[in-house]
Structure formats: structure tokens, C-alpha cells
Chains A and B, each alone.
Chain A
Amino acid sequence: MSLRSQLLKGVLEGCILAIIKKESVYGYELSVKLQKFGLNDVSEGSIYPLLLRLQKAGLIKGEMRDSPSGPKRKYYHLTEKGEEALQDFIAEWESIRKPVEKILRGGNME
């Protein structure tokens, strides 16, 4: 896998954790939310391998529950481990966000 797609996956995983932390969602709902935030280039199907990976790592948990619209859906919620992973992700993201922005804008070193 290329570094570029690994980076994107990592970022996307962080976003998924953040969305699930707010409220538990099911797959389709999650993809709609990602798109509403503007991540239109993320193909809808690509969330499912990530959801499986996050489940396997114990960061989220899926549960079949009745949805308001009727049918049973698999809702995901964050585990304690997932909470920690999200905090780590936010810290890492903050630590690279500013320097990367500066570099990309062609600013000077401090």
C-alpha cells in the first residue's frame, strides 16, 4: 500500500472515531455524515474495511439494534480503548497540522 493511501486511511479512521464518539451510528449513516462534512472523494464502501479493522482492534463495537426507521441495523459505539485512540489521534494530528500548513504555504522556519 502506498504511503499516500495509508495516510488517508489513518486520517479517515480518526474521523470515524470522532463521529462515533458523538453518537452511535450505523454504516450508511456514517458515510452520509462523512460526506456532509465534505469528504466527498471518500468512496462510500471504503468505510466497511475500516469499520472491520477498528472492531478487530477493539476500538469500536458493533451491535444489532432496532433503528428508528424500523429494520435492525448494526450500530457502532466507541470502547474505552477507542476513546484513548481518538485522544492519541487528535494529539498527533495537532502536532503535525500546524507545521504542515506552514510548509505548504511556503512560510519561513522559526
Chain B
Amino acid sequence: MNAKDLVALNNEKRKQLNEHNRNYYENMLVYIRSQLLLSEQQSEELLMELLDHLLEAQKHGKMAEDIFGTDAKAYCDELIRQLPKEKKRNIYAFIGYLAVRLFALGVLVTGAVELVAEWFTDVDDTVYLGKASVLFVIDFAVILLAVALVMRWIRKSAFHDDSSTFGGKVKEFLGIWFACCLVIGMFVLAEKLVPEFGYRIEAGGMVRILFGLFVFAVTWRLNKKFRITK
């Protein structure tokens, strides 16, 4: 059973937990899954074991606290210390896959925008390969950083979830809003600051869309073959 199957089975089985136990368990689940550098397979196998155990204990009238203790975070930290890390090769393959996907998406979106804009005005199709590569690296780094920050935030809030209160909701909204502004702001800033340099090519809307689709198809094939996202 690979990690993806385990996640699906976990979603199904979790429904059998009562509300109290489900709350307790789901906090642990979020906390452990947000540790992106741990082996996904091992983490999911462990989460399934804990769930099976809790379900069995629930049948005997026990609560999650009776099994995992009153300090769920301390318990999870102990588990995390013992869980093996994801293989470096898998992490690099996944990041590389994301980078190529992002590249294809960028090409597609700018292509579509240009295609529409061409109807109304004259569009400059020039792409400076030097500038485009630097921008891509910066944008990708910003996205990775944002993901890392969001995960850290999820980890921190896993065991004191206040998203049901009004104040909690406002805080959550402001947090997401701020993160989005930061990411978009960095994109715009980079676009303005990086000078135009490098080899010049002309790439119109249609060309970009076709190229973007082609890259997507290639990543799709590679992913199927090497099971990068399992």
C-alpha cells in the first residue's frame, strides 16, 4: 500500500471516530503531515496504526487521552523524532517536478493573456531569456518560502486551534491575506527590478500555449513513469 492509498483509507476510516476522538486525532494528523521532510510512506503507515489503535480502543469505551496522553503535542514530537526522513532523492525529484510544472503553468498563463490582449492592442512578444530565467528562479524560491511559512504556521496552530472563534477567523484571514500580498508583491518587485538581458526571442500567445501544453504532457508522462507524486 503506498502513501496515497493510505491517505484515502485514512479519510474513510476516520469517519468512525466519535467527535472528541476525531478532534484529538486530526490535530495529530495535521501536525505530523505538516512535517514535509519526513518519509511520507512511514508517516502515513504510522498514522494508520494510531488510527486503528484508537478505533479499537474506542470500541472499549476509551478516549484518545487514555491512549496517547493528555499532551498530544509532546507525544507527536516523540514520534517525529523517531520517524525516518524522506529520501533526499525523492525530495529533489518532487521539487524539480514542481518547478517544471510551475514553468509550464507560467508559459500557459502568459500565453493565454497575450492571446486575449492581442484582440485589443498591439502586444510585444519579446522574451529576454536571461531576465526570464532569473525571474523564474526568484518566483519559485518565493513560492517555496511561502509554502514553508504556511506549513510552519499550520504546525504551530495544530494544537491550539482557535479557527472557530471570531477572533481566530479574523486572524486566519489576515494571515492568508498578508501571505498572498507578500508573494504577489515579490513577483511584481522582481519583474520591475530585474533588467532585460540575455538572448531575445519572439513568442506569441499561440506558441506559448502549445509549448506550455507540451511541457505539461511531458511532466505528466514522467510522473506516471517514476511515480513522483506517488
Mark A residues whose CB is within 8 Å of B.
26-28, 31, 43-45, 48-49, 52-53, 56, 62, 64, 71-74
Please measure, in the bound complex, the distance between the C-alpha atom of A12 and the C-alpha atom of B57, giving whole angstroms: 21
- The residues of A that contact B49 with a CB separation of less than 8 Å are 26-27, 48, 73-74
A71 to B45, CA, bound (A): 13
**B52 close to A45 (CB less than 8 A):** no
A76 vs B53: C-alpha distance when bound (angstroms): 15
Write the residues of chain B forming the contact surface with A, with a CB cutoff of 8 angstroms.
1, 45-46, 48-50, 52-53, 56-57, 66-69, 75, 78-79, 81-84
A48–B84 Cα gap in the complex (Å)? 14
* Shortest Cβ distance from residue B46 to the other chain A in the assembled complex, whole angstroms: 7
Q: A27-B53, A28-B52 are in contact. Are A45 and B75 (CB under 8 A)?
A: yes
- When A and B form their complex, what is the total count of cross-chain residue pairs whose Cβ atoms lie within 8 Å? 49
**B residues within 8 A CB of A74?**
45, 48-49
Selected from A27, A31, A56, A72, the residue in CB contact (under 8 A) with B1 is A72
Contact partner of B45 among A49, A53, A62, CB < 8 A?
A62
Contact status B53-A49, CB under 8 Å: no
Q: Which of B46, B66, B84 has the most CB of A within 10 A?
A: B46
Known: A28-B52, A31-B53, A49-B78. A43 touches B46 (CB 8 A): no
* A44–B82 CB distance below 8 A: no
Name which residue of chain A comes closest to B75, CB basis: A45
Knowing that A43-B68, A74-B49 are A-B contacts, what are 8 other residue pairs whose CB atoms are under 8 Å apart, sorted by A's residue number?
Answer: A26-B49, A43-B66, A43-B67, A44-B57, A49-B78, A52-B79, A56-B82, A73-B49
Return chain B residues, CB-CB under 8 Å to A64. 1, 45
- Per a CB cutoff under 8 Å, which of B45, B50, B69, B84 touches A56? B84
By the criterion CB–CB under 8 Å, are B82 and A49 in contact?
Answer: yes
